Amino acid sequence: MRTVFNKTLMELAEKNENIFLILADIGFGEIEPFCSRFPERSFNVGICEQDMAGIAAGIALNGNIAFTYSIANFPTLRCFEQIRNDICYHKANVKIITIGGGVVYGPLGISHQSTEDLSLMRALPNMVVAAPGDLVETELLTRAFVEWEGPCYMRCGYKGEPALYEKKPDLKIGKALTIREGKDLTLIAIGEMLPVAVEIADELKSEGLSIRVLSMHTLKPLDKEAIIQAAQETKRIITLEENNILGGLGGAVSEVLAETGNLNIKFKRMGFNDIFPTKVGYREYLRKIYGFSKDDIIKTINSMF
């Protein structure tokens, strides 16, 4: 995803001289082309994420589009106050792009994991929150962010993600995409849980289960209509996220279902259950340890029938 983002940003910046890129001690393979091509529009502030957010706000408030970019926990958790006060409060046209969200950096431990960022960013007024589930969504969300006036946050994967679409979908901020049709149960996935959801739906189809898969690439604004329709038509919903289920996708969908009322459905949130993932290891190992691996999801699906 990081490669797709950087390639798309380069293409957009060639046509739009108001696009700037502000970094915090990151590079080595992806962002160098932008910095070389547009040295007057790129800045690396070092290990100073608070300054990165403040500088981006200043650039944006002078009529530009400022992108910040780093590993997911650093440009969100470390400078949350600056994002809140400098960017969101002023509705500054800043796009916060992160790579390696969730536990893709699991071997490096809790300091490099980002399992609360979606919840935190969602809590900020004026902030759009997105997490693409594949390479195509990454490109389309990057383009959509440039067109969107105001603060945006996008959590990208790191590398090796699949392309799930045969052709580019009509992606719009705030509108879920239906990846698989189904009538028995709905998997609502965000970010890098989307390929897992698609794999499960395809596998269980041979067992006679019809699983709907929704890509909730935009967590805020949330596609409430797609959630309610899924609840009414499939009567069973599971949310999948590599994030704390409190305040993230699971929390957001819970709010919609609770406020709608009288839907009489079975519902389960799957992700990190209000814990720090203190174990150290690769992503698949950690998903298994914390109860939302592919096998765990299939067990939960079966328990709903």
pLDDT along the chain (305 residues), means of 10: 89 96 80 87 90 96 95 89 97 94 83 91 98 95 97 89 89 97 98 96 95 98 98 98 96 96 94 92 92 97 96
CB 185 within 8 A of CB 167: no
Query: Contact at 8 Å (CB) between 270 and 253?
Result: no
HSE value, Cβ hemisphere, 13 Å, CA-based, for 217: 27
What's the CATH number for 2-155?
A: 3.40.50.970
Distance CA 40, CA 20 (A): 9
Domain residue extents for the chain: 2-155, 177-303
d(CA 280, CA 257): 35
Q: How far is CA 39 from CA 43, 189, 301, in A?
A: 8, 38, 51
Question: What is the pLDDT, as a whole number, of residue 288?
Answer: 95
Is this structure's pTM higher than 0.85?
A: yes
Q: Residue 142: its pLDDT value, please? A: 96
- Rg of the chain over CA atoms, in angstroms? 19
The structure tokens listed for 36 are 């070389």
Backbone angles phi, psi at 253, to 5 degrees: -65, -40
CATH 3.40.50.920, domain 177-303, yes or no: yes
pLDDT at 289: 95
Beta-bridge partners for 19: 65
In terms of Cα–Cα distance, which of 98, 117, 60 is closest to 243?
A: 117
Assign 3-class secondary structure to the chain. CHHHHHHHHHHHHHHCCCEEEEECCCCCCCCHHHHHHCHHHEEECCCCHHHHHHHHHHHHCCCCEEEEEEECCHHHHCCHHHHHHHHHCCCCCEEEEEECCECCCHHHCHHHCECCHHHHHHCCCCCEEECCCCHHHHHHHHHHHHHCCCCEEEECCCCCCCCCCCCCCCCCCCCCEEEECCCCEEEEECHHHHHHHHHHHHHHHCCCCCEEEEECCEEECCCHHHHHHHHHHHCEEEEEEEEECCCCHHHHHHHHHHHHCCCCCEEEEEEECCCCCCCCCCHHHHHHHCCCCHHHHHHHHHHCC
The two domains 2-155 and 177-303 share their CATH topology (first three levels equal): yes
Q: Residues 140-164, buried b or exposed e (16+ Cβ, 10 A)?
A: bbbebbbebebbbbbbbbbeebeeb
Give pLDDT, residue 166. Answer: 86
